[in-house]
Amino acid sequence: MSSLQMKDRIRAEIVTPEAKRDYVQGLFGRIADRYDLTNDLMSAGLHRRWKRLAVNMAQIGDGHVVLDLAAGTGDLSLIVGAGSTEGYEPSLVVAADLTVPMMQRGRERSGAAAVRWLACDAMDLPFPEASVDRCLVGYGLRNFPDLGQCLRELRRVLKPGGRLVTLDFGRAEPQWLDRAYLRYLEASGSVAGWIMHRDIESYRYIAESLRTYPAQRAVATLMQYAGFVRCGSLDLMFGTMAINFGDVPN
């Protein structure tokens, strides 16, 4: 299959919300066993620094209920779960994800850490209204079938004064850098996919999902539409990565 045919195939697979949900679940199911190693290789370990920054920006406090949505193998939950050494003690950390094999890896890693694991779809969260203090989403927004619907769900489950912090790939400026970065992602994704899984499509998906993702500035606007206030974004590495944040009004 040529590179162009592969791009077209991935685009066709993620064109409707239902198809995208199934495609994404299948993909993460296939790559779960080497997901963490591939992340370290593709970001030269930097994703760990960005994740710690995202957790700091969530301003987690004692007794907070923290939701790590699209938790995958649980990096963010593990950072939050270790919070007592950082001076705060959350009352509950819930790691929620659609893909069971990702969570199985996470469970193996989390050991004694006080993290509860929950299989669910971000489009329809099984939490009562105003029951969560902080929500973190690491590299999840880009994968959701309907971003607006997920942000409305998060607004619903967060308490007044609650905070949402997300970390994901972004779109860089200027445009030449954005184009170059997308090409880099395609190439490095193909290599990583082949080395790790003998499958170049798995990580080519990152670049394709990013092409249809509204990215950091539009995500801030979508958060406002969903009812968050003080929404904004912080660019990392010239905007190739970004953290978005927003608060629920008191």
Ligand X SMILES: C[S@@+](CC[C@H](N)C(=O)[O-])C[C@H]1O[C@@H](n2cnc3c(N)ncnc32)[C@H](O)[C@@H]1O
Binding of residue 54 to ligand X (CB under 6 A) = no
Binding of residue 192 to ligand X (CB under 6 A) = no
Binding of residue 23 to ligand X (CB under 6 A) = no
Q: How far is the CB of 174 from ligand X (least distance, A)?
A: 27
Interacting stretch for ligand X, rule CB under 6 A, among 107-115, 121-129, 194-202, 216-224? Answer: 121-129
User: Which lies closer to ligand X via its Cβ, residue 211 or residue 230?
Assistant: 211
Binding of residue 208 to ligand X (CB under 6 A) = no
Binding of residue 50 to ligand X (CB under 6 A) = no
Binding of residue 165 to ligand X (CB under 6 A) = no
| 108 CB-near residues (< 8 Å, 6+ apart) | none
User: Which lies closer to ligand X via its Cβ, residue 25 or residue 233?
Assistant: 25
DSSP letter, residue 122: T
Q: Quick one: which of 55, 65, 66, 72 contacts ligand X (CB under 6 A)? A: 72
Long-range contacts of 25-29 (CB under 8 A, 24+ apart): 25/98, 25/99, 27/202, 27/205, 28/72, 28/98, 28/99, 28/101, 28/102, 29/99, 29/100, 29/101, 29/102
Binding of residue 210 to ligand X (CB under 6 A) = no
Q: How far is the CB of 167 from ligand X (least distance, A)?
A: 7
User: Which lies closer to ligand X via its Cβ, residue 71 or residue 250?
Assistant: 71
The H or E element containing residue 169 is strand 158-169
End-to-end CA distance of the chain: 53
Helix ranges (DSSP H) in the chain? 3-13, 17-31, 35-43, 46-57, 75-81, 100-110, 147-157, 175-197, 201-211, 215-225
Q: Quick one: which of 22, 33, 121, 235 contacts ligand X (CB under 6 A)? A: 121
Q: Quick one: which of 10, 60, 67, 98 contacts ligand X (CB under 6 A)? A: 98
Binding of residue 189 to ligand X (CB under 6 A) = no
Distance between CA atoms of residues 47 and 162, nearest Å: 25
Binding of residue 71 to ligand X (CB under 6 A) = yes
Query: Would you say 165 and 139 are in contact if contact means Cβ atoms under 8 Å apart?
Result: no
Binding of residue 151 to ligand X (CB under 6 A) = no
